[in-house]
């Protein structure tokens, strides 16, 4: 008996699975804290050159007028005047010098950040973005390393190890004595945030039946948004980066109780031949779900689904690499577009998340709103997915989002709240498209290489998300509008290109690379834009359906029908 058949008998999303999913989804909250918390840990407050020991920041004062150059109604952050007369009695501008006694920082919003403690301003400004990029790089590494080790030693040991690492590294991070140490621990926290999250979600989805896995995935997204919003509240209350780091690290110790509360994945146990342990977990799930199974139900041979690469039925099929997605023209065309969409979504999502500290007079409120817009975006996606389809919805989100970001460009700095409104409309749209891109890619790639395709897209997106903090750095070096131009352009181009992909709503998913190549093939450019689905893939199955109907009405062909029925009907199985 196959594993998914067992889940259908004990309940695809019964009380036991709901309990495990809710428990696991809570891990998304600290994952969001450590993924996005660097916005406040490395925040850059207003500052100018220090001219005497013990000096405090002042918005306007005679001393500031005499010591700090002012050009275009903006105070210099990296230069000062060399004064020989008293600071409040100056008659000329004086000689301009670089800051040689450090800086004075505005503590209106931040008591301390890594920027103020390590003086990451002016010539050191790029280092501030480095710590953010390293946290995102850690997420990329964590997904790969923890994912691999979870297949070797088990899901449960790895996410428990990740929790221990998250608590210990996070607590140690609050005592970082230097910027290199701070960067190192931010990378490690990114590793644990992603590693724990990915492995735990695998446990949840492997306990849920096939028809409910998308629902479980959306639950994770909602919890991530809760973590997104709550980090703004934590940072607003504590104000100092060491306190914030402690506050987002220590609570993870409570998740060590999952050693007793969360089971190992039965699917993984079966893959390792530990059948008796898997049976105990499945028996408990059936009991909690109040499903009575025959005494010998789980004594039958338990099997995992075999997913082979190549033509269906080919027992000699072998695993292939991501290169197989680029080998044929139509599959290559679809792969490149969906990967570009993934890159655009990841870059813009994290770019806007980190940019919120510069979009409003209150960075905490702006960041909270940025996280809050994710929730209605996910709700709207769930409502529209089965009506508009995947292609139109994600394309519409990205094009509207890009227009909103372009609208931010001509708004003057004095109208920061107006900029925030348009930026959050863009963030709303990108959050929606980011949620849909996973589902769209899952349905677009053939089963035989689906995981490889998803991994390629996720990896590409991770690389570009690492670049997003440096795109924000262009706002300080070139102009405030340049990040909006880049983010808006990527989103717009991706939205247009997505209209060239075939719709997957309600269609039978391709199984092999051969079938994947047929999806969308034979359609003209205009047919693709209109969303026609009568491609070679549909034509093939329409012909097979007609042949099956003929065989069912022709008694003379019944022996042939019986011999070939498994070949034909397997093509219509639900994925």
Q: What is the CATH number of domain 1-44+125-293?
A: 1.20.1250.20
Structure confidence at residue 494 (pLDDT):
94
What is the architecture, at CATH level 2, of domain 322-501?
Up-down Bundle (1.20)
Give 554's contacts (C-beta < 8 A, 6+ positions apart).
none
Distance (Å, whole) CA 280 – CA 94: 81
Structure confidence at residue 231 (pLDDT):
94
Q: Residue 572's closest CA among 537, 536, 535?
A: 537
Distance (Å, whole) CA 166 – CA 158: 12
Distance (Å, whole) CA 9 – CA 300: 14
Q: Residue 464's closest CA among 426, 440, 494?
A: 494
For the chain, where do the domains classified as CATH 1.20.1250.20 start and end?
Answer: 1-44+125-293, 322-501
User: Could you state, in chain order, the average pLDDT of each consecutive group of 10 residues for the chain (575 residues)?
Assistant: 75 87 89 90 89 83 82 83 68 78 90 92 85 87 82 86 93 92 93 83 77 74 90 94 94 92 86 84 88 67 46 41 77 88 91 80 88 91 83 92 92 79 91 84 74 75 85 83 92 93 76 74 68 59 51 48 40 36
Alpha carbon distances (Å) from 387 to 383, 396, 446 = 8, 13, 23
Outline where DSSP puts E strands in 47-129: 47-49, 70-71, 74-75, 79-82, 95-98, 103-105
The encoded tokens of residue 257 equal 């109780």
Q: Residue 552's closest CA among 540, 564, 542, 541?
A: 564
Distance (Å, whole) CA 3 – CA 170: 38
The encoded tokens of residue 565 equal 């029925």
Distance (Å, whole) CA 252 – CA 168: 10
Distance (Å, whole) CA 345 – CA 462: 10
Q: Residue 190's closest CA among 126, 143, 258, 222?
A: 143
Structure confidence at residue 426 (pLDDT):
92
Radius of gyration from C-alpha coordinates of the chain:
28
Structure confidence at residue 299 (pLDDT):
61
């Amino acid at each position: 008996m196959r594993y998914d058949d067992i889940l259908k008998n004990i309940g695809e999303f019964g009380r036991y699975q709901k309990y495990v999913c809710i428990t696991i989804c809570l891990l998304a909250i600290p994952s969001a804290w450590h993924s996005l918390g660097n916005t406040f840990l490395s925040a850059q407050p207003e500052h100018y050159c220090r001219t005497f020991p013990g000096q405090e920041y002042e918005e306007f004062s005679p001393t500031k007028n005499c010591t700090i150059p002012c050009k275009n109604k903006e105070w210099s952050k990296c230069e000062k005047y060399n004064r020989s007369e008293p600071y409040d009695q100056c008659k000329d501008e004086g000689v301009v010098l670089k800051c040689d006694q450090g800086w004075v920082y505005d503590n209106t919003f931040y008591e301390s950040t890594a920027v103020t403690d390590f003086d990451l301003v002016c010539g050191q400004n790029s280092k501030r973005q480095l710590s953010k990029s390293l946290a995102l790089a850690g997420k990329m590494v964590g997904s790969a390393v923890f994912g691999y080790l979870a297949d070797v030693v088990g899901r449960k040991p790895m996410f428990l190890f990740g929790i221990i690492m998250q608590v210990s590294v996070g607590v140690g991070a609050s005592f970082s004595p230097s910027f290199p140490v701070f960067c190192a621990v931010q990378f490690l926290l990114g590793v644990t945030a992603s590693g724990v999250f990915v492995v735990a979600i695998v446990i949840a989805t492997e306990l849920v039946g096939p028809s409910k896995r998308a629902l479980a995935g959306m639950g994770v997204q909602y919890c991530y948004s809760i973590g997104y919003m709550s980090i703004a509240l934590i940072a607003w209350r504590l104000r100092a980066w060491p306190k914030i780091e402690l506050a987002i690290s220590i609570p993870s110790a409570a998740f060590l109780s999952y050693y007793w509360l969360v089971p190992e994945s039965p699917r993984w146990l079966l893959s390792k031949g530990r059948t008796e342990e898997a049976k105990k977990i499945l028996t408990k799930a059936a009991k909690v779900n109040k499903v009575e199974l025959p005494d010998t139900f789980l004594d039958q041979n338990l099997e995992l689904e075999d997913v082979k690469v190549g033509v269906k039925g080919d027992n000699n099929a072998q695993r292939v690499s991501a290169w197989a997605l680029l080998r044929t023209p139509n599959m290559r065309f679809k792969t490149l577009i969906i990967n570009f969409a993934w890159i655009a979504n990841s870059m813009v999502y994290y770019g806007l998340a980190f940019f919120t500290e510069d979009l409003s007079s209150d960075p905490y409120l702006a960041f909270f709103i940025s996280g809050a817009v994710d929730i209605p975006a996910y709700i709207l996606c769930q409502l529209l997915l089965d009506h508009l389809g995947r292609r139109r919805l994600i394309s519409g989100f990205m094009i509207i989002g890009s227009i909103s970001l372009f609208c931010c460009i001509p708004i003057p700095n004095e109208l920061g709240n107006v900029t925030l409104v348009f930026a959050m409309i863009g963030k709303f749209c990108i959050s929606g498209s980011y949620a849909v891109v996973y589902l769209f890619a899952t349905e677009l790639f053939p089963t035989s290489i689906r995981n490889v395709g998803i991994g390629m897209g996720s990896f590409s997106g991770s690389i570009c998300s690492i670049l997003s903090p440096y795109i924000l750095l262009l706002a300080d070096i070139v102009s405030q509008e340049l990040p909006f131009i880049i983010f808006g352009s990527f989103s717009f181009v991706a939205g247009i290109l997505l209209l060239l992909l075939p719709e997957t709503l309600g269609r039978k998913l391709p199984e092999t690379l051969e079938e994947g190549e047929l999806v969308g093939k034979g359609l003209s450019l205009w047919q693709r834009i209109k969303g026609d689905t009568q491609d070679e893939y549909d034509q093939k199955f329409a012909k097979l359906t007609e042949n099956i109907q003929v065989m069912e009405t022709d008694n003379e062909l019944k022996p042939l029908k019986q011999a070939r029925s498994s070949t034909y009907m397997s093509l219509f199985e639900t994925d």
